[in-house]
Structure 1
Amino acid sequence: MTSMPARFPERIVCLTEEPTEVLYALGEAHRIVGISGFTVRPPRARQEKPKVSAFTSAKLEPILALQPDLAIGFSDIQADIARELIQRGVEVWISNHRSVDGILGYVRRLGAMVGAAHRAEAYADALAARVERVRQAAAQLPRRPRVYFEEWDEPQISCIRWVSELVGIAGGDDIFPERAVASLARDRILATPDEVIPRAPDIVIGSWCGKKFRPEKVAARAGWDQVPAVRDRELHEIKSPLILQPGPAALTDGLDALHAIVARWAARH
C-alpha cells in the first residue's frame, strides 16, 4: 500500500533568509530542513537548521541529501541554483518581489503554500499596520531630508525599490528614486561618485552587504565635502540583514532604524 502524498511541503530548503523568518513567525519552522548561511533571523534558526547555501551558490549534494520537497529562493541571482535543483528533480519557488506591497504579498503566498493562510493573513496585516504607524508618525515631522542610501561602495549601488519606499515611509526622500525601480543591481550602479553631489543628500545611509560601513571613507570621496550629509556628519549605518532582505525584518527593525535616523535629523533641523 502506497502512502498518500503530503498535502503541503514538509521538507523545505530556504535559500535566502526571508522564507526562514516568515516560516518561524507562522509557527511552521518544523518544515525547514536547510537554510542560507547568511540567515541571522531568527537567531535560533542558525542553531537548529543546517546551513546549505550562500546567496549565489549552494551545496547541491547536501541539499539533495536532505530530500527536500520544496526549495525557496529569491530573484534572478539564484537562477543557476534553481536550475540545478530543478534538473535534479526538486520543486523550486523563486520569488521576485521588490516592493513593500510585494513583501506583504510574499508573506501571504508563502503562508498559503504551507497551509497557514489564515495565520499569514493576520501576520501580513500586522506588518502592514506597523508600517502605517511609522508612516503616520513621519507625516508629523517638520521637514523631510533628502536621503542617499548606498547598498555597496565599489561600485556604488543605490537602494532597491523596497528600501526606497521605506525611506519615504520613514519620512525622507530617496535622491535616486528613478534607479530604485530597476529590477537588476547593475541598473542601480552610479557611473561616478560625482552623481551624488548635485542631489545634495542631507543624510547618507550605508548598508554594505557583508562588510562594515565606513563613514570616514565616504566623507573622503572627492568633492563630497560639499554634500550636506558629510558637512553635518549625517553618515549612518543600518546593518544589511535588517533592510536588504525582502522580508519581515525590513518592515520592522529596518523601517524603525530608518525612521529613527530621519526623526533625529528632523529634530536637529
Structure 2
Amino acid sequence: MVDPYPQRIVCLTEEPTEVLYALGEQQRIVGISGFTVRPPQARKEKPRVAAFTSAKIGEILKLEPDLAIGFSDIQADIARELIKAGVEVWISNHRSVDGIVAYIRRLGAMVGAHEKAEAYAQRAEQHLATVRAAAAQLPRRPKVYFEEWDEPIITGIRWVAELIQMAGGEDCFPELAREPLAKQRILPNGDEVVRRAPDIILGSWCGKRFRPEKVAARPGWDAVPAVRDGELHEIKSPIILQPGPAALFDGLDAIHRIIAAWAGCQG
C-alpha cells in the first residue's frame, strides 16, 4: 500500500523535527532548521536549510519536499516563497501550553501517526499534571521575571508564563505574556521590573549566553530581591523558547527545580 502521507518534509523550525523524531517518523524529514539541537542526531542526519527568518529556498526546492512546516508570522516571507514555488506549507501559530500539546496531535495526524501522537500528547499532559501537583505542595510561590532578550528588554511569551505558573511561580508580567509578538513585550527600561520586585530572575537570551552579572549591574536593580539574593538563573534557549515538547518536559523541569530550591531556602 502506498503511504498517502507526506514523504519529504522540510522543518523550518526545531519543534516539528523534535516531534517527528519522538513519534518515530524521522524518515519523512529531508531538511531541518540550522537552529535545531533536539534531538542531537537530527543535525548529523539531516541537511540544514533554514534559519528562523531566512531559508535557502533553492536548496529546499532541490530536496523536492511535499510539505514544509514552519512557525509564526515571522516565517511568512519564507512560506510565501515556497508556496509560489509550488510547495505545500503549514505554518502553525500556537503560543500556549495547550497549543503545544494540540500541535503534537495535529502534526501526528498529518503524517498518519495519530495513535503515537496521542500517546505522546498524553505523556506530556501527565508530566504537566505531575509538576503542577508538586508545585502545589511548595510552602510559598515566588514572583518570577523571565527575560527573553536584553537590548531591548523583552519579557516572556505566553507558554513561558504558563510554565512558570505550573512550576510554582507567579509571572511578573502576565499582561505582556498574552502578547504574541516580541515587539509587543518590549519594556522601555528596567524600572517596572524593579517596581514589581521579582524573587527570581530567569534569563534565556535567544541564541546567546545569559549574563546575570550584567543584569545585576543595571541601575536600581540592586534593590530587586532576586538580585539581592543571587537568584538569577539561565534557562537554555532550546528547552524553553521553542513552542515544542522540550518546553513541556525539560524547560518546565528546569524552572520547577529553581523555584523548588528557592521555596526550600525560604521555608
Query: TM-score when scaled to structure 2?
Result: 0.99
| Aligned residue number for residue 126 of structure 1 | 123
Cα shift readout 1:184-229 (whole Å, capped 9, x = no counterpart): 1111111111110110000000000110000000000000011000
Alignment of 1:143-182 (within 5 A): 143-182=140-179
CA distance in structure 1 between the partners assigned to 2:243 and 2:2 by the alignment: 31
The counterpart of 1:261, out of the listed 253, 258, 262, is: 258
Q: Aligned with 1:27: secondary structure?
A: coil
**1:247 — aligned with what?**
244
Residue of 198, 209, 232 corresponding to 2:195? 198
Change (3 A) 1:235 1:39: same
Query: Residue deviations 1:138-163, cap 9 Å, x none?
Result: 00000000000000000010000000
What amino acid does structure 1 have at the position aligned with 2:74?
A: I
Q: Any residues of structure 2 matched to 1:72-221 within 5 Å, and which?
A: 72-221=69-218
The equivalent of 2:57 in structure 1 is: 60
| Aligned residue type for 2:188 | A
| Secondary structure in structure 1 of the residue aligned to 2:187 | coil
Q: 1:85-143 CA distances to partner (integer Å, 9 max, x unpaired)?
A: 00000000000000000000000000000000111011000000001000000000000
Using the TM superposition, give the Cα deviation of residue 6 of structure 1 relative to its aligned residue in structure 2, in angstroms.
5.1
Q: How far apart are the structure 2 equivalents of 1:75 and 1:84?
A: 15
Kindly provide the amino acid, as one letter, of the partner of residue 204 in structure 2. S
Unaligned regions of 5+ residues in structure 1, if any? Answer: none
Specify which of 32, 35, 42 is matched with residue 38 of structure 1: 35
Query: Which amino acid in 1 is paired with 2:130?
Result: R
Could you list the runs of 5+ residues in structure 2 that have no partner in the other structure? none
Aligned residues: percent identity?
74
Secondary structure of 2:260 counterpart: helix
Give the Cα separation in 1 of the matches to 2:208 and 2:136: 33
Task: Give the counterpart of 1:10 among 7, 10, 29.
Answer: 7
Q: Distance in 1 between matches of 2:186 and 2:7?
A: 40
RMSD (Å), alpha carbons: 0.9
Count how many residue pairs are aligned between Structure 1 and Structure 2: 266
Pairing partner for 2:222 from 217, 220, 225: 225
Task: Specify the SS of the correspondent of 1:196.
Answer: helix
Paired with 1:66 and 1:116, the residues of 2 have a C-alpha distance of 23
How far is the alpha carbon of 1:5 from its aligned partner? 7.9
SS at match of 1:255: helix
Give the distance between the partners of 1:263 and 1:133, measured in 2 at CA: 14
Distance 2:263 2:91 in 1: 40
What TM-score, normalized by structure 1, do the two folds share?
0.98
Structure 1: distance between partners of 2:249 and 2:2: 37
Q: The residue matched to 1:148 in structure 2 has which SS? A: strand
